[in-house]
Amino acid sequence: MLFSETRDGCSRVTSQCLHVAPVLRRGDSLLTPPRLVARISPTNSTDTYREVTAETRATDRASLLEARSLAERWLSVAPNDRRPREYLGRALLLLGDSMAASIAFERAAELGTPESRRALFSSVDGPRLGAVR
């Protein structure tokens, strides 16, 4: 959740998305207030997804710093586990520290299995590494 830009209410059956919510940090809580989706059309110039994503990005630095801190604490108790290194790499990448992220991902790959390395580096849409902004 700390890495998410949005949460949405999309149907698995119809693939129709009726609601979307920003991920907002308020103190130690994450809030996801839903909104009805309005897409750009000839009569409507708003794109709810674009607005919600912008709202999340305006407040996401605190979430990314918290994610980095959690990963560092996890890593301190599980130094030979690939998972905290992957998590740390994602946080660092989204915080803009690509060199440190690269080191974390490389170490995660060294500690992982062939399957975990494939999942880390060859995902079709990139959800494992997160979107680079």
Determine whether 65 is exposed, middle or buried from the number of CB atoms within 10 Å of its CB (0-12, 13-18, 19+).
middle
72-95 tens-digit pLDDT = 999 999 999 999 999 999 999 989
- CATH for 6-121? 1.25.40
Domain spans in the chain, listed from the N-terminal domain onward? 6-121
Full-prediction pTM beyond 0.75? no
On the question of pLDDT at 40 being above 80, the answer is no
CB of 1 closer than 8 Å to CB of 21: no
94-115 tens-digit pLDDT = 899 999 999 999 999 999 999 9
